Structure 1
């Protein structure tokens, strides 16, 4: 059984807190044996209650120091999180991180992790309305527009429904895919959203806001990497002409559809080269290039190195 400690800061967001805790309760309900136990603690060493940003008081069982006995820590903060500084709590978090404990942050909890120095050279997610402030206070920490972000044993999420995504991910890591899927089904959650899927979804939406044809075309390109569509077919499927699609791509991306498509396929190939040991010829075909020599020529033009040189540098 895994023990989880929720550590609440005044001004926390009750939705993400409740959803994340409910996910653990549902996991217990769906299992033959209890999977999780949890307690509710305070970032303060003196408070007996924590108050949410909408004035809901929650009784706590003690201070954050009790979390030393847990397998995972979940920090709940939102309103005024940027102002919260507690050297004792920051020191405690650093100590727990050093021993490899899972530490997760909901909504504005990333501010508390940043204060503790746990996000240095890392990326994070947090509530969108605080993203700009976070960037100004911590310019060396990358803020991602993802529902949640995983950096080794540190997880951060944007709050709201993203708390459920993150908890389903943790349940999957702890007890497997079958249980996490059952939890997802109980919440009538059609599909677990991975950070990459959400990132792409938001990117497609951003492109569609520039031009409906652009967003649809890019999404189709990236779903047809191994068997590329010709531009006429692509234009037909998004409801425009090849000529108009050319104009849209040049206006918003400063390149032709063919150039963008080729670059997307080469980016896909690059990832396969560094992440797999598949032969270069197989990777070329999986990226929509019938000729290995043409693939190598295009790859070298974009990256300045042959595919085999990239692989050697990664070994």
Structure 2
């Protein structure tokens, strides 16, 4: 009997759905092929319990210090919507050891951030939850956030959320154990999943129903946060006049282009403040604000709290 060992690193507020979906795919391998035994170890980085995104405490084992403590074949970092993203030397050490031994390494939800942090995905695409894309792009410019629900590259894989956690693990199982096993898992677990040519795109809000020119304008704004474009430039690139641009924003989004753009930048700033320890002034610059005073004032008007106070509340809540 072939034994395949997997270490799940459950970060604080990890997504229970992502974890169980990935685990479900792995456990089903045994149902498809009784000759394969899956052994999974759930580990935490602090204490004997980890609180998931549902508020449920999960019992965990201590994180192995080296691969000699627990010989494993796959390492999976499982994050969630509210997972604090900060360096952890123990996770980095495990990932480096895994890479040296050509072991599979994966990230679920924003667990992919830790793979990028260690330089494993330099120059590669990485799938991560849309709300963590801003932090990933700002922190690791050599890594490319993907609009794909999941990405598999060599022995690395990443996914954006719970549904794609099952999809990516099924496909990874196919690469490890063969197509027959993959098809068997799909019959059991993925019989109700829509069929497609590949991983589905991560859709944002209801943008797919907007006119093409407006979708293009929104994408231009999203891709030019640090150095904002003028409305004239956006209109030109979208093949619209400024007046046409304003009409489309008012008709479909019920807001002016200027207000939409500034709120887009401020929401990105808020994500960076909550998900990282980047200095407030650096967050302001990363979101296109030259003056820290202007940034603070506009931030307070939108969210009812200053950037510094938000950062303080976040640090005291941890």
Under a length normalisation based on structure 1, what TM-score does the superposition of the two structures give? 0.60
Shift of 1:63: 1.3
CA–CA distance in 2 between the matches of 1:81 and 1:169?
26
Closer, same or farther: CA 11–71 of 1 in aligned 2, 3 Å = same
Pairwise CA RMSD? 3.0
1:64–1:89 CA contact under 8 A, matched in 2: no
Match of 2:133 among 131, 134, 148: 131
CA–CA distance in 2 between the matches of 1:64 and 1:104?
17
Q: Report the equivalent of 1:153.
A: 155
Q: Report the equivalent of 2:47.
A: 47
Shift of 1:14: 0.5
CA–CA distance in 1 between the matches of 2:203 and 2:81?
25
Residues 239-250 of structure 1 aligned to structure 2 (within 5 Å): none
Q: Quick check: 1:102 aligned with 2:120?
A: no
Shift of 1:145: 0.8
CA–CA distance in 2 between the matches of 1:148 and 1:163?
8
Q: Report the equivalent of 2:79.
A: 77
Shift of 1:28: 1.3
Q: Report the equivalent of 2:185.
A: 183
Match of 1:112 among 108, 111, 114: 114
CA–CA distance in 1 between the matches of 2:145 and 2:41?
29
Closer, same or farther: CA 197–53 of 1 in aligned 2, 3 Å = closer
Give the structure, 1 or 2, with the largest relative contact order (CA under 8 Å, sep 6 or more). 2
1:58-97 CA distance string (max 9 Å, x none) = 1112214365510111111124545321123212312221
1:7–1:64 CA contact under 8 A, matched in 2: no
Q: Which is greater in Rg?
A: 1
Q: Secondary structure at the match of 2:200?
A: helix
CA–CA distance in 2 between the matches of 1:144 and 1:76?
18
Larger helix share, 1 or 2: 1
Q: Secondary structure at the match of 1:65?
A: coil
Q: Report the equivalent of 1:229.
A: none
Under a length normalisation based on structure 2, what TM-score does the superposition of the two structures give? 0.59
Q: Report the equivalent of 1:28.
A: 30
2:49–2:58 CA contact under 8 A, matched in 1: yes
Q: Report the equivalent of 1:225.
A: none
2:8–2:75 CA contact under 8 A, matched in 1: yes
2:50–2:59 CA contact under 8 A, matched in 1: yes
Residues 1-315 of structure 1 aligned to structure 2 (within 5 Å): 1-42=3-44, 44=45, 46-65=46-65, 69-81=71-83, 83-187=85-189, 188-190=191-193, 196-199=198-201, 209-210=210-211
Shift of 1:35: 3.7
2:105–2:155 CA contact under 8 A, matched in 1: yes
2:112–2:126 CA contact under 8 A, matched in 1: yes
